[in-house]
């Protein structure tokens, strides 16, 4: 597996490079088919963010792209956190695939059952790790200290099963996607155990309901 280490606003010391390579060797053991991993070592210059001044971003190219990042006031601590997060994502993916072959219902069956039972809205939304900087906007609300961070990323249509796989790989409790079957903007989310839910957004259906009311 090729390892690319890049420093942003900082120089990466030889000792730090050795630490990163050691951690990535352990990650490779969990993803032996991975072709490359990119590790960005970022120093945040803003003094207001001193507690999170050191950030490690890891992007692993396996069957798909797996991302994790972590921040701390210490570079080594940030590396430990980021490596642990991407390792946990890989373990959860492997474990879920193992459960799939132990008499568990397929992902499509689980999603259909959850959808028919009624989907519960997602209560919280976390930032998507690894989002390109060019797709990030911060929008201040006039007269308030509130800043809204808006992120946009390209979306290729995919099946519900593929969306759940992507959700597990990035380690979030939800994943937004375009359903290849219906063409609708959709979201899958994790419920209890190995069950999942799916929400579809249909503007035409909403307009028809209003007209018939």
What CATH code is carried by the domain that includes residue 45? 3.30.160.100
What confidence score (pLDDT) does residue 122 get?
Answer: 36
Is the pTM above the cut of 0.85?
A: no
Confidence of residue 89 (pLDDT cuts 50, 70, 90): confident
Do 81 and 173 fall within a single domain?
no
171-188 tens-digit pLDDT: 778 889 999 988 999 999
Does 118 lie in the same domain as 53? no
Closest of 158, 3, 30, 52 to residue 97, by C-alpha:
30
Q: Which of 61, 80, 100 is the last residue of a domain?
A: 100
Total Cβ atoms within 10 A of residue 46: 8
Evaluate whether 75 touches 50 at the Cβ level (below 8 Å): no
pLDDT at 80: 93
Judged against a pLDDT cut of 60, whether residue 44 lies above it is answered with yes
**Separation CA 81–CA 88 (nearest Å):** 10
Query: Would you state the structure tokens that stand for residue 65, as one six-digit string?
Result: 């792209």
- Reported as a pLDDT band with limits 50, 70 and 90, residue 110 is very low
Together in a domain, 157 and 83 = no
Average pLDDT value for residue range 155-184: 85
* Residue 157 and residue 85 share a domain: no
Q: Name the least confident of 1-10, 24-33, 57-66, 87-96.
A: 87-96
User: Is residue 96 located within the same domain as residue 117?
Assistant: no
One domain, residues 74 and 123? no
Same domain for 94 and 122? no
Domain-terminating residue out of 85, 100, 115: 100
Between 86 and 48, name the one with better pLDDT: 86
Residues 161 and 184 in one domain: yes
As a whole number, the mean pLDDT across the chain is 77
Residue 185: give its domain's CATH number. 3.30.505.50
Number of domains in the chain: 2
Which pLDDT band holds residue 167 (cuts at 50, 70, 90)?
confident
Q: What percent of the chain has pLDDT over 90?
A: 27
For residue 131, what pLDDT band results from cuts at 50, 70 and 90?
very low
The answer to which of 9-13, 140-144, 160-164, 171-175 has the lowest mean pLDDT is: 140-144
Q: Are residues 205 and 131 in the same domain?
A: yes
DSSP-assigned states of every residue in the chain: -EEEEEEESSPPPHHHHHHHHHHHHHHHHH-TT--EEEEEEEE---GGGGGG-EEEEEEEESSSEEEEEEEESSHHHHHHHHHHHHHHHHHHHHHHHHHHTTTPPPHHHHHHHHHHH-PPPP---PPPTT--GGGEEEEEPTTSS-EEEEE------B-HHHHHHHHHHHT-SEEEEEBTTT--EEEEEE-STT-EEEEE--HHHHHHHHHH-
Q: Do 120 and 198 have their domain in common?
A: yes
44, 131: one domain: no
Question: Same domain for 165 and 75?
Answer: no
Residue that finishes a domain, picked among 100, 127, 162: 100
Range of the domain at 72: 2-100
């Amino acid at each position: 597996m090729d390892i690319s280490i890049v420093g942003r606003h900082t120089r990466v010391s030889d000792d730090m490079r050795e630490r990163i390579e050691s951690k990535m060797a352990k990650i490779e053991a969990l993803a032996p088919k991975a072709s490359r991993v990119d590790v960005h070592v970022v120093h945040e210059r803003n003094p207001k963010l001193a507690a999170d001044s050191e950030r490690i971003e890891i992007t692993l190219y396996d069957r798909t792209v797996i991302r994790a990042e972590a921040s701390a006031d210490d570079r080594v601590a940030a590396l430990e956190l980021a490596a642990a997060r991407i390792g946990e994502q890989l373990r959860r993916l492997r474990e879920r695939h193992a459960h799939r072959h132990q008499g568990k219902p397929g992902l499509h069956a689980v999603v259909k059952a959850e959808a028919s039972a009624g989907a519960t809205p997602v209560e919280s939304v976390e930032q998507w790790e690894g989002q390109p900087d060019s797709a990030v906007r911060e929008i201040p609300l006039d007269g308030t200290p509130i800043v809204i961070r808006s992120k946009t990323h390209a979306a290729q249509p995919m099946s519900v099963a593929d969306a759940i796989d992507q959700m597990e790989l990035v380690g979030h409790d939800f994943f937004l996607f375009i359903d290849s079957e219906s063409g609708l903007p959709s979201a899958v989310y994790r419920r209890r155990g190995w069950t999942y839910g799916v929400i579809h957004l249909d503007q035409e259906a909403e307009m028809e309901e209003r007209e018939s009311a």
